[in-house]
Structure 1
Amino acid sequence: MEKHGRSEMEMVPSEPHSFIKLLKVNREHLVTHIRNTQCLLDNLLQNDYFSTEDAEIVCACPTQPDKVRRILDLVQSKGEEVSEFFLHVIQQLADAYVDLRPWLSEIGFSPSPLIQSKAVVNTDPVSRYSQKLQQQLGQDSKFILCYAQKEELLLEQMYTDTVVELVNFSNESLGSLDSLACLLDATTGVLNEQGEIIFVFGDAGMGKSMLLQRLQSLWAAGQLDPGIKFFFHFRCRTLSCFKKSAALCLQDLLFKHYCYPEQDPGEVFAFLLRFPHTALFTFDGLDELHSDFDLSSEPDTSSPWEPAHPLALLASLLSGKLLKGARKLLTARTGVEVPRHLLWKKALLRGFSPSHLRAYTGRMFPERAVRQRLLDQLEANPNLCSLCAVPLFCWIIFRCFQHFHDTFESSPQLPDLTVTLTDIFLLVTEVHLNRTQPTSLVQQNTRSQTETLRAGRDTLCSLGRVAHRGMEKSLFVFNQDEVQASEVREGDLQLGFLRTVPELGLGEEQQSYEFFHLTLQAFFAALFLVVDDKVGTRELLRFFQEWTPPEEAVATSTCFPPFLPVQCLGGRGLHGEDPFKNKDHFHFTNLFLCGLLSKGKQKLLRHLVPTAALRRKRKALWTHLFASLRSHLKNLPRVQSGGFSQVQALPTFIWMLRCIFETQSEKAGQLAARGICANYLKLTFCNACSADCSALSFVLHHLRKRLALDLDNNNLNDFGVRELQPCFSRLTVIRLSVNQITDSGVKVLYEELTKYKILTFLGLYNNQITDVGAGYIARILDECKGLTHLKLGKNKITSEGGKSLALAVKNSKSIFEVGMWGNQIGDEGAKAFAEALRNHPSLTNLSLAFNGISTEGGKSLAWALQQNASLRIFWLTKNELDDEVAESFAEMLKVNQTLKHLWLIQNQITAKGIAQLAEALQKNTGIMEICLNGNLIKPEEAKVFEDEKRIVCF
């Protein structure tokens, strides 16, 4: 924007309120920067300041500057009021006259009440286009996309929040998201100021697409950042519909294939190029962007006017080569990684917590009696309840329950006892196949599941053929030819398994289809592999090779097409590297294959598959599954640590456990248990959810030995704790930190762990435990006499919970370490811990950091340490300790010679208090360091203590 080369005297009229003079003085500046004359004409006409003849005179001018000059001439000739209104229009329509904002600010223009009362209409192309986008996204996001195509469920009525956490580059939690608007907030969770991508990831079915739909709805309603004027939403899988030969410029991709401006598209696009920060792009499902298109053969696209393949445009948008400064929100399944230099934020979807599930139940079943009946059934079946932590599976289960409620006169009943994911998908298949049955008010449909599946065999085969062909190529959108080639009939399309692709115009002119979710496509692909007689052993086991590390799979690898995200996000030329960063679609197919070929499903499937073929496929699967399991367990990395033989499991191990659980084969569970030779199983950051605890217990309850189990940094919540019950009798170490566990889960731990009393380590850091849960943990400490380590930091424990825990610590003869960082026990809780410290026989490490402890609490702790000979490390970082507390600790140091490390970082101690501590060290030879970083001391004051190396100030 050019700088104004005029003095202030030239900017402001010489006489008061001379708007005519103002326009004359700044005439050429206005001619240079006014590009939109239509808005001015529309408003001058509407308020009767211009006649039709005036407008015709202006429109007859050959160039835009000439039009501006003629408007200025006419406005000035009509007097001060019209001149003032002219400036008012420019001020009100900021987008249309963006270049004049600084000038209007400099002249301090403020319209009179008369002018303010005049209506200003916004006919600016940019504003009109933004309004059109809002209307379109508002309509598109109004109803929830669901597989029952005849249903229309309002998003506003049905949407339920899930647990969303901001995470760092290493996927460690930075705290839960308060609202979706926080995703765009520059004050929270920013990892890289130069990055432009907000990366939202989570397992299949966790609600990534629903989150974007809600975000669209909020923007359309004006409830997001008002600075976002453009919102462009693309589903990555639909971009694969473009032919290899397709080439279009960025303007065509945005306008012709998304939403076309009603007027002046060139002006709208020019605004977007000038102000890319006003645009938000969302790209849903990067991991589903599989294509035969080879991006490496395409030149980089940095020109917005140069035609290129849509995938090349996508790559350039994500890398910032196009529209640098625009915010991009990208979703993908867990396992896909985005280069750090492109990231602005990362957010992890963790699904439904127990409270979210209750809220969702209330929305789905507003009738109280029906809702309570469902909740009672879920409460009685922890396995089913844990499946409901995944929003997609929860929705499917609830729809099946609703079907039973609407169909049968008796109380609807969900499956009893252990339910696998295969059971749920067979159930939903049965429900939808029964849609074809005629309904009657006097006669109910009494077909069994076997009869229903047998009657729908042809439908299942044709849909399975479509799913399998897509799975082979990692494609999730199918054109009409592909659907017809698989012999899918019109009636099959009405069942709701396949739906039409919502976006029209992306690629082929003919209709395209997709399964309502990737997991359903995987289920039908597995069903095809089981039911089709022509499928041989090699083809049956094809997707199991995705368990094999790349270097081991070279000899047997199938030639898959390249995976765009690796290329488009800076991974070109990675020869020999597995292009699939996420393989869930293969793993789900394997999982359903194990479920369908399990012993319990033979009776059902023998009506669909010849007995000999079924027996052959089952034998091949079991042989391969057992061999893969043995090989995987043998090759897991091991380390000797803390007296344990520790094995670090990988996410693939979680998938194997899921498959074993689907088989419901005790033999497979026993084999897996025998393969775990180590006595410390580490499953941190494996993205395990509560349903995985069912699979883990299915294996671990076969162990004969005791085991340490580390499940930190997963997504287990209270459902997962309940599912671990069968293996608590084996566990001596339980680490469940960062897992969304509440008091309800802690109660289960208390009830189970006190039965066996073998616990030595309990880790519950960074959960949602309150004083109620702290009471249960205190009772665990009272009854488990061998408990040595207790980690309870960053929960919601106050003084009451602190006092309960302190009393249990006081009475414990075994406790070695207690971590309470980041709670709020305050001075009352600190005084209780002071009582626990007096003459304690075993407590060696204690953290009361960041607990709101001030003078009284700090002095109590210092005095107590005068009567303690066990504590070696004491953390009191980030409290409110002052010089008075420092004096008390100085007195303590003259007596206590066993404390080694004292951390008083980030408190309110001044040079005076530090001097007292330094003086006390003259009489203490035991302590090794007193850390005082971040206190109220200046660098020049700290120089006094340079000779005392045990005082650390900076």
Structure 2
Amino acid sequence: MEKQGHSEMEIILPDSHSYIKLLKINRELLVTHIRNTQCLVDNLLKNDYFSAEDAEIVCACPTQPDKVRKILDLVQSKGEEVSEFFLHVLQQLTDAYVDLRPWLSEIGFSPSPLIRGKTVLNTDPVSRYTQQLRHHLSRDSKFTLCYGQKEELLLEETYTDTIMELVDFNNESLGSLGGLACLLDHATGVLDEQGETVFISGDAGVGKSMLLQRLQSLWATGQLDVGVKFFFHFRCRVFSCFKESDTLCLQDLLFKHYCYPEQDPEEVFAFLLRFPHVALFTFDGLDELHSDLDLSRLPDSSCPWEPAHPLVLLANLLSGKLLKGASKVLTARTGVEVPRQLLRKKVVLRGFSPCHLRTYARRMFPERAVQDRLLNQLEANPNLCSLCAVPLFCWIIFQCFRHFHTAFEGPPQLPGCAVTLTDVFLLVTEVHLNRMQPSSLVQRNTRSQAETFRAGRGTLCSLGQVAHSGMDRSLFVFSQEEVQASELQEGDLQLGLLRALPEPGPGGDRQSYEFFHLTLQAFFTALFLVVDAKVGTHELLRFFREWTPPGEAVAASCYPFQCLGGGRLAGEDPFKNKDHFQFTNLFLCGLLSKGKQKLLRHLVPAAALRRKRKALWAHLFASLRSYLKHLPRVQSEHFNQVQAMPTFIWMLRCIYETQSQKVGQLAARGICANYLKLTYCNACSADCSALSFVLHHTRSRLALDLDNNNLNDYGVRELRPCFSRLTVVRLSVNRITDDGVKVLHEELTKYRILTYLGLYNNQITDVGARYISQILDECKGLTHLKLGKNKITSEGGKCLALAVKNSKSIFEIGMWGNQLGDEGAKAFAEALRNHPSLTNLSLAFNGITTEGGKSLARALRQNACLKIFWLTKNELNDEVAESMAEMLKVNQTLKHLWLIQNQITAKGLAQLADALQSNTGIMEICLNGNLIQREEAKVFEDEKRLVCF
């Protein structure tokens, strides 16, 4: 920006220190680059340098350059002080006089104390619009979006961070994100410098909208210093309100349908076009656009003044064809794909960890006694805790707890036992229906849930009709006419389940409505399908068929899920997501479960209910058989491995909602494999409830691989029922802490059938290491233990090393990326000495230096079992290389020694090369990344077992 302005200017400095001369000499430069004369006139008037008559003379000039020349004439005629103040205004109002910044810098202008004490008014339209946007967004983001009209909560008091994980293009983790400011910085997690979009994905309810609301709140209050002057926030679902014939130019989309500048919109828009990099756009819920839309097929539109359909403008803003250089933050549900060339960063939201949950509880319930009561109830119900890992469901559960606390006598009590998502949504619906009843100071409401739903049947049916009409078209915003057609009463809207949009949508002044969340819309859609007598069995199963793969041999009527392709139909819009259909299916299974019949018989005739239940169960059984039959299988050693897809998680959720042991048994029998692989399925802790519900029915022993999901400690607790079957437990990259490891210790040592334990890249400390060492002591068949990239120090390392020393079965230990240090290395050296079974060992990246390295080398002189030893990325020097060389003259069984990225020089290399003359067993010594030059390595190029480059 500044370089461009500088290239157009010829800087001329006066011979003497005179501001009048400076203005005279650079007169034409100033006339050319000053576009805003009003700011100058306002400030000269404010400080009594101009009279009203002077201002009228300037305003009477016909053109802008003439106005600038007249101002210069008047300023120069009034002396040095006024000329100096004139320059001070140009310097202070950077947005108004952006083209003069290089010139002011070049002349080194610095005002005197007298001038610095003068008031400078910022009446520049760009600055005024920035302040207008801040006020608009501050008001819009002050309160959280809640059910009901009386429950608005201050965002500042309730917002709690969730787990934000940076990922690469292949969704491999790059570590956690430090805070919201890191989303927009240039140093963290950038995948492509040319990309302009930060893409945030996550499951429904995980907090994507709340994150954007918090981001806009920080910017509005000046707490987000990222060089952004314009912040435009759009909710993608609102674009569905536009008609097909609607066209807008970009300026109208930004101003008329967002926030209109109070002053000179043309000048503001021109500034935006000229400097797009000072604008930030946030687009919430890309997957909530109309189902008929395919963004990848919309026409290009690169002209900001050319009218186009608003969706075309949206697509071209995202692609960078409009306002190239502007920053974008885009959210969508898990599974939505965005072209790689658009992406600058990718972030996945993982919801609440146990620590986040406790923080959220403290924010929502400041009273310590109430807070403790809530947390104790959650702690007693792991299933409820697992649901609370999803912020939306957590909020709903907390709100229900708050209602019980304020509405009833005695301590509030959350539901016990196994709680399904359907139970939670039935509970929140009951709570809000009861709130509409007249309250009494002397008598509390004692209606049962069934009585409450029977009394509110009309409201439930109307809400269901609205929800279904939208779900059928993948629409999440409803017009006034659609709401009126459902016969929904004004009082029903006070429930807060369906609410008016916070501001008029693009349809103009017509009022629009939406459900609080798409999961709520899915719930009422399912309720409509169950309760409405006109819905037949074909319509009942409508949303199951949305997942039927093309060309599938199985009949569409009995195959609801696509099992092999990751859930995407051929030729389908890559921006779409169908989780809202899946949530509808899930709630349908829950509502038609056996346990809900007592409630529903008050809402639907018994015969219709039986017919719908029978149709759903037949459909579900056929689907299960077909799905499990088509899962891909791999024979691996003595395992028959089945590779499940994310769709399998959805199927497990539906099975769990039925709470039918018969369905669970059928699913368990259909797996027909002894190794279930569910890696990268985006499974959360609540999914472990569903997994256990099925797996505890298996009769044979099983290997379970849940690496790279989002289970945390609650998920481990939910797996308790199936640990008696598990010989392989892989839970790497799942944010498991010492609490989760304690559960593993309690369960795995009961049955002692474990052979493989994978806990790589979690949050395990020395406390957890002690639990794991006890598992190793008691599970005599344990052969593989993966503990890399945790937080284990020398103390935990000593415990583990002692357990390894005493184990007669352990085959492989992975400790990469901990902090064992020399003390931990010495402990493992003791374990290595004469060990009978340990074949593979990794102590890479553990801060091991000379003493630790020499201890390990000495121990290997008395080891005839170890074949592979990784010591990559430590601090091993030539002394260690010398000790390793001496060891190799004795040890003939070690095959692979990795000393990559240490501090070994050519001297150490020579000693290792010499040792190889008497060692025929070693196959490779890897020394890449050490302090060895290519020329130095050439001396040993004939020794192929030495790998230096």
TM (norm. structure 2) is 0.96
Amino acid at match of 1:29: L
Aligned position for 2:805? 810
Structure 1 residues 157 and 702: alpha-carbon distance in aligned structure 2, compared to 1, 3 A threshold: same
2 CA distance for matches of 1:437 and 1:375? 30
2 CA distance for matches of 1:891 and 1:215? 60
Aligned position for 1:67? 67
Deviation at 1:296, TM superposition (A): 8.0
Matches within 5 A, 1:890-901: 890-901=885-896
Structure 1 residues 580 and 182: alpha-carbon distance in aligned structure 2, compared to 1, 3 A threshold: closer
1 CA distance for matches of 2:114 and 2:645? 72
Amino acid at match of 2:174: L
1:875-902: CA deviation from partner (whole Å, max 9, x where unpaired):
1122222222222222222222222222
1 CA distance for matches of 2:433 and 2:100? 64
Matches within 5 A, 1:835-854: 835-854=830-849
Aligned position for 1:332? 332
Aligned position for 1:786? 781
2 CA distance for matches of 1:31 and 1:218? 39
Structure 1 residues 70 and 639: alpha-carbon distance in aligned structure 2, compared to 1, 3 A threshold: same
Aligned position for 1:437? 437
Does the CA contact (< 8 Å) of 1:765 and 1:795 recur in 2?
yes
Aligned position for 2:872? 877
Structure 1 residues 454 and 663: alpha-carbon distance in aligned structure 2, compared to 1, 3 A threshold: same
Matched, 1:676 2:677: no
* 3-state SS of 1:329 partner: strand
2 CA distance for matches of 1:410 and 1:674? 46
Matched, 1:503 2:503: yes
Aligned position for 2:256? 256
2 CA distance for matches of 1:769 and 1:2? 55
Matches within 5 A, 1:239-638: 239-292=239-292, 299-552=299-552, 576-577=571-572, 581-638=576-633
Superposition CA RMSD, Å: 1.8
Structure 1 residues 44 and 424: alpha-carbon distance in aligned structure 2, compared to 1, 3 A threshold: same
Matched, 1:211 2:206: no
1:9-43: CA deviation from partner (whole Å, max 9, x where unpaired):
x633222x322222222222222211112222222
1:459-501: CA deviation from partner (whole Å, max 9, x where unpaired):
1111111111111100010001111111111111111110011
Match of 2:761 among 766, 774, 784: 766
Aligned position for 2:564? none
Range with greater deviation from structure 2 (26-35 or 194-203):
26-35
* 3-state SS of 2:281 partner: strand
Matches within 5 A, 1:677-756: 677-756=672-751
Unaligned 5+ runs, structure 2: 559-567
Deviation at 1:365, TM superposition (A): 1.0
1 CA distance for matches of 2:745 and 2:681? 26
Deviation at 1:852, TM superposition (A): 1.4
1:239-292: CA deviation from partner (whole Å, max 9, x where unpaired):
110111110100100011001111111111111111111111000001111155
Identity of aligned residues (%): 83
Matched, 1:84 2:79: no
Does the CA contact (< 8 Å) of 1:898 and 1:927 recur in 2?
yes
Does the CA contact (< 8 Å) of 2:338 and 2:574 recur in 1?
no
Structure 1 residues 307 and 553: alpha-carbon distance in aligned structure 2, compared to 1, 3 A threshold: farther
1:574-625: CA deviation from partner (whole Å, max 9, x where unpaired):
9744667421101111111111111111111111111111111000000000
Range with greater deviation from structure 2 (844-853 or 308-317):
844-853
Matches within 5 A, 1:91-130: 91-130=91-130
Structure 1 residues 503 and 580: alpha-carbon distance in aligned structure 2, compared to 1, 3 A threshold: same
Deviation at 1:133, TM superposition (A): 0.6
Does the CA contact (< 8 Å) of 1:184 and 1:225 recur in 2?
no
2 CA distance for matches of 1:510 and 1:176? 43
Structure 1 residues 767 and 6: alpha-carbon distance in aligned structure 2, compared to 1, 3 A threshold: closer
Amino acid at match of 2:591: L
Aligned position for 2:201? 201
Structure 1 residues 38 and 291: alpha-carbon distance in aligned structure 2, compared to 1, 3 A threshold: farther
Aligned position for 1:34? 34
Aligned position for 2:565? none
Amino acid at match of 1:477: V
1:528-575: CA deviation from partner (whole Å, max 9, x where unpaired):
1111111101000111113322332998599xxxxxxxxxxxx9xx97
Amino acid at match of 1:828: E
Matches within 5 A, 1:220-239: 220-239=220-239
Does the CA contact (< 8 Å) of 1:241 and 1:508 recur in 2?
no
Aligned residue-pair number: 937
1 CA distance for matches of 2:812 and 2:219? 49
2 CA distance for matches of 1:107 and 1:224? 32
Aligned position for 2:816? 821
Structure 1 residues 554 and 244: alpha-carbon distance in aligned structure 2, compared to 1, 3 A threshold: farther
1:747-788: CA deviation from partner (whole Å, max 9, x where unpaired):
000000000000011111111111111111111111111111
* 3-state SS of 2:551 partner: helix
Range with greater deviation from structure 2 (622-631 or 291-300):
291-300
Aligned position for 1:915? 910
1 CA distance for matches of 2:869 and 2:540? 59
Range with greater deviation from structure 2 (680-689 or 34-43):
34-43
Does the CA contact (< 8 Å) of 1:240 and 1:291 recur in 2?
no
2 CA distance for matches of 1:203 and 1:5? 51
2 CA distance for matches of 1:751 and 1:662? 28
* 3-state SS of 2:544 partner: helix
Structure 1 residues 707 and 899: alpha-carbon distance in aligned structure 2, compared to 1, 3 A threshold: same
Deviation at 1:420, TM superposition (A): 0.8
Amino acid at match of 1:370: V
2 CA distance for matches of 1:178 and 1:461? 45
Structure 1 residues 503 and 405: alpha-carbon distance in aligned structure 2, compared to 1, 3 A threshold: same
2 CA distance for matches of 1:37 and 1:830? 73
* 3-state SS of 1:346 partner: strand
Does the CA contact (< 8 Å) of 1:855 and 1:882 recur in 2?
yes
2 CA distance for matches of 1:800 and 1:899? 28
Deviation at 1:921, TM superposition (A): 2.0
Aligned position for 2:149? 149
Amino acid at match of 1:73: D
Amino acid at match of 1:53: E
Amino acid at match of 2:280: L
Structure 1 residues 291 and 652: alpha-carbon distance in aligned structure 2, compared to 1, 3 A threshold: closer
Structure 1 residues 31 and 918: alpha-carbon distance in aligned structure 2, compared to 1, 3 A threshold: farther
Range with greater deviation from structure 2 (940-949 or 159-168):
940-949
2 CA distance for matches of 1:754 and 1:297? 57
Matches within 5 A, 1:17-28: 17-28=17-28
Aligned position for 2:921? 926
Does the CA contact (< 8 Å) of 2:505 and 2:512 recur in 1?
no
Does the CA contact (< 8 Å) of 2:6 and 2:103 recur in 1?
no
Deviation at 1:690, TM superposition (A): 0.5
Does the CA contact (< 8 Å) of 1:232 and 1:254 recur in 2?
yes
1:676-724: CA deviation from partner (whole Å, max 9, x where unpaired):
1010000011111111100000000000000000001111100000000
2 CA distance for matches of 1:697 and 1:299? 49
Range with greater deviation from structure 2 (116-125 or 737-746):
116-125
Deviation at 1:173, TM superposition (A): 1.1
Deviation at 1:47, TM superposition (A): 1.9
Range with greater deviation from structure 2 (892-901 or 548-557):
548-557
Structure 1 residues 260 and 599: alpha-carbon distance in aligned structure 2, compared to 1, 3 A threshold: same
2 CA distance for matches of 1:155 and 1:922? 71
Does the CA contact (< 8 Å) of 1:550 and 1:578 recur in 2?
no
